[in-house]
């Protein structure tokens, strides 16, 4: 291929290498130059134009890209028309992408002019999704290079394995303390995972975390027509002799592999019984976030075998994300044995729903609401107690006269609750493991409740966010591990920290309560009168 500048009169039949814009002239890169283009170039006063011209032994970029793409495309792969040296490949159906990495590597080493790129191996794809592209770098490649590339493509390099398994059984084991709504949510998350494959849950059972009960349930799932059974244990699998693998073997099944070098997803169990795959799901599979369970599940749904060799080869790229429940000493230089928790009392609001007066200064039994809330925090184990002021700062601080608290002012209180959360957290000492965020308008939250929530905070067990609940409803205050401070500081607007709870469900621990104190705040005059009456009666 000849490449270089020539006068417009000598450019006919060649390809423009660069886009030219001059006055009314726009000549795009890759344009085949004909008589009209020559005339336009000369009229625009262009003296030279850089072109590429094919010579004997050359193959044009589009022809080369199209031939290679056609040769490497396999099952359920559509090859689009080549243009500007590129030929894209698309999935014709939903399924899992299967690629021959070694063959693709060999193809990319034939000649620097020829490149072939794909999505990651075993990625779930949908119909119409672009899965690969062949790109010829220059405007042409040699016949020799093209023939060498095609010689390697004796069989396809890329295909889409369509989903085959449509019926899935789910068995959940139960232990005291595992809430029913956790299992309910797991089912919803699992069905969402199955939906892209067109699969559904056809059998669902909840049994005690015991070998005999679980074995019976797995057997029933297979009898009900399940083509794959997923077991969600109330307790993580710790050994091949644990409850879940023992139950699989008890019905004549076998364990293919336990554990995988993917995090989250380490405690994955892959087995089979009666020729159907059985998965012992890791705890992270309860979360909708991508984890190792997704990688194995989607391959099995597409009918692709997953061997021990396959699993052990997932280590490179297997660290998917930081897990908030995993100890991170480099980010949390806190002496864990002390687990000191600070209290942050938010008292900066404008009380707009009260219709005028500052509710935090309204008195019950001769004490302002804000003082009641702060005194209860001081009576708890939380230390220090940080009070965030804003609206009517002087009056709120006067209401707290004589109390051993750290006062911090939020000058941006009018911009919303998030600004007060940030101000309070910024004042928490570095050696505190976390903070319990209290609201200044919740006078019925007492010190024993605060202590109960702090006692449930246990980083080693993954209890990094602690929330009180009454009949399934979540309330306040909430304990937050320092590991979430960075996320909390990123919240904007008139919202609290609740937005993060749905993002990290695996880190949340709920503490049941027996009264409405954790759900009752004073937002309106009627609410104030009701709370006042209840406190005074007590």
How many Å separate Cα 180 from the centre of its chain?
A: 24
Q: Where in the chain is the domain with CATH 3.90.550.10?
A: 341-534
Alpha carbon of 220 to those of 202, 224, 276, 358: distances in Å? 11, 6, 13, 62
pLDDT at 332 over 60: no
Q: CATH 3.90.105.10 residue ranges in the chain? A: 2-53
Q: Write out pLDDT tens, residues 369-387.
A: 999 999 999 999 999 999 9
What is the enclosing helix (H) or strand (E) of 399?
helix 393-399
C-alpha separations of 53 from 30, 87, 143, 332 in Å = 11, 21, 15, 63
Mean pLDDT, rounded, for 165-187: 92
Q: Give the DSSP H/E element, type plus range, for residue 387.
A: strand 385-389
CB contact at 8 A, 178 and 185: no
Distance (Å, whole) CA 488 – CA 484: 6
- Secondary structure (3-state) at 442: coil
Considering the four listed CATH numbers 3.20.20.70, 3.90.1170.30, 3.40.50.720, 3.10.580.10, the one that applies to the domain covering 58-162 is 3.90.1170.30
Using the predicted structure, report yes or no on whether residue 528 has a pLDDT greater than 60. yes
Q: Is the pLDDT of residue 338 over 70?
A: no
* Angstrom distances, CA of residue 486 to CA of 58, 205, 234, 389: 57, 40, 31, 22
pLDDT in tens, 237-250: 999 999 999 999 99
Which is more confidently placed, 252 or 329?
A: 252
pLDDT for 130: 96
Distance between CA atoms of 330 and 334, rounded to whole angstroms?
10
Q: What integer pLDDT is reported at residue 496 of this predicted model? A: 64
Could you give the percent of the chain with pLDDT greater than 70? 96
Question: d(Cα 257, Cα 255) in Å, to the nearest integer?
Answer: 6
For domain 341-534, the CATH architecture is Alpha-Beta Complex (3.90)
Query: Which tokens go with 97?
Result: 């992408």
Q: Please compute the mean of the pLDDT values over residues 33-50 and round it to a whole number.
A: 88
- CA dist 90 and 76 (Å) reads 8
pLDDT tens digit sequence for 50-88:
888 877 888 999 999 999 999 999 999 999 999 889 999
Mean per-residue pLDDT, 4-22:
85
| Token pair listed for 377 | 């925090």
DSSP states along 69-86: HHHHB-TTEEEPPPBTTE
CA distance 473 to 469: 5
CA atoms within 13 A on the CB side of 446: 8
Under 8 Å between Cβ of 169 and 214: no
Label residue 353 left, alpha or beta by phi (over 0 means left) and psi (-120 to 50 means alpha).
alpha
Answer whether 500's CB lies under 8 Å from 484's CB: yes
Residues 6+ apart with CB under 8 A from 256: 270, 271, 272, 306, 307, 308
Measured over the CA atoms of residue 56, residue 62, residue 65 and residue 66, the dihedral's sign is: negative
Return the CATH architecture of domain 167-312.
Answer: 3-Layer(aba) Sandwich (3.40)
CATH node for 2-53: 3.90.105.10
Reported confidence tier of residue 27, pLDDT bands at 50, 70, 90? confident
| pLDDT grade for 108, boundaries at 50, 70 and 90 | very high
Tell me the torsion sign for CA atoms 205, 211, 215, 216. Answer: negative
| Confidence band of 329 (pLDDT split at 50, 70, 90) | very low
pLDDT of residue 70: 97
Calpha distance 517→520 (Å, rounded): 5
Residue 428 has pLDDT above 90, yes or no: yes
Q: Grade residue 322 by pLDDT with cuts at 50, 70 and 90.
A: low
pTM for the whole structure: 0.68
Per DSSP, helices labelled H in 242-333 are 243-250, 292-301, 308-312
Distances (CA, A) of 67 to 64, 159, 160: 5, 17, 20
Q: How far apart are CA 370 and CA 316, in angstroms?
A: 54
pLDDT for residue 330: 41
Provide the strand spans (E) within 158-265. 158-162, 167-174, 200-208, 228-232, 254-258
Please tell me the predicted confidence (pLDDT) of residue 142: 94
Q: Which part of the chain is CATH 3.90.1170.30?
A: 58-162
CA-based nearest residue to 492, from 414, 406, 413, 419: 419
Answer yes or no: is pLDDT of 334 > 50: no
What DSSP designation does 305 have? -
């Amino acid at each position: 291929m000849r490449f270089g500048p020539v006068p417009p009169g000598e450019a006919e039949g060649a390809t423009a290498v660069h886009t030219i814009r001059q006055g009314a002239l726009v000549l795009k890169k890759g344009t085949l130059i004909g008589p009209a283009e020559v005339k336009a170039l000369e009229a625009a006063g262009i003296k030279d134009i850089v072109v590429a011209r094919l010579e004997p032994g050359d193959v044009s970029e589009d022809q080369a890209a199209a031939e290679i793409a056609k040769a490497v495309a396999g099952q359920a792969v559509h090859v689009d028309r080549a243009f500007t040296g590129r030929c894209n490949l698309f999935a014709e159906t939903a399924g899992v992408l299967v690629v021959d990495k070694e063959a693709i590597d060999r193809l990319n080493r034939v000649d620097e002019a020829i490149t072939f790129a794909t999505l990651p191996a075993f990625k779930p794809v949908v119909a119409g999704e672009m899965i690969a592209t062949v790109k010829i770098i220059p405007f042409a490649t040699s016949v020799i290079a093209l023939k060498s590339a095609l010689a390697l493509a004796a069989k396809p390099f890329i295909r889409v394995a369509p989903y085959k398994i449509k019926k899935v059984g789910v068995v959940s084991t139960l232990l005291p303390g595992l809430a029913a709504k956790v299992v309910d949510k797991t089912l919803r998350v699992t069905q969402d995972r199955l939906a892209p494959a067109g699969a559904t849950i056809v059998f669902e059972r909840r049994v005690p975390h015991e070998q005999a009960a679980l074995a019976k349930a797995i057997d029933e799932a297979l009898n009900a027509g399940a083509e794959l059974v997923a077991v969600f244990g109330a307790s993580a699998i710790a050994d091949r002799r644990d409850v879940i693998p023992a139950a699989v073997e008890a019905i004549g099944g076998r364990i293919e592999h336990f554990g995988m070098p993917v995090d989250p997803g380490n405690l994955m169990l892959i087995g089979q019984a009666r020729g159907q795959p059985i998965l012992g799901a890791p705890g992270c599979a309860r979360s909708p976030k991508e984890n190792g369970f997704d990688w194995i599940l989607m391959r099995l749904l597409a009918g692709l075998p997953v061997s021990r060799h396959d699993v052990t080869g997932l280590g490179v790229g297997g660290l998917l994300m930081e897990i908030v429940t995993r100890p991170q000493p480099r980010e949390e230089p806190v002496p864990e044995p002390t687990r000191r928790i600070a209290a942050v009392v938010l008292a900066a609001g404008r009380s707009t729903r009260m219709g005028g007066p500052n509710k935090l200064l309204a008195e019950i039994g001769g004490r302002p609401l804000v003082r009641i809330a702060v005194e209860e925090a001081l009576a708890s184990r939380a230390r220090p107690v940080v009070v965030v002021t804003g609206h009517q700062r002087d009056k709120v601080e006067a209401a707290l006269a004589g109390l051993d608290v750290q006062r911090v002012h939020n000058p941006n209180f009018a911009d919303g609750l998030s600004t007060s959360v940030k101000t309070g957290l910024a004042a928490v000492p570095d050696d505190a493991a976390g903070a319990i965020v209290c609201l200044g308008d919740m006078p019925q939250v007492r010190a024993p409740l605060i202590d109960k929530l702090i006692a449930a905070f246990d980083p080693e067990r993954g209890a990094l966010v602690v929330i009180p609940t009454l009949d399934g409803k979540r309330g306040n205050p909430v304990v937050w591990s320092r590991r979430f401070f960075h996320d909390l500081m990123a919240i904007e607007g008139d919202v609290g920290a609740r937005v993060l709870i749905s993002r990290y469900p695996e880190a949340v621990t709920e503490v049941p309560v027996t009264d409405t104190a954790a759900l009752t705040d004073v937002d309106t005059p009627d609410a104030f009168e009701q709370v006042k009456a209840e406190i005074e009666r007590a």
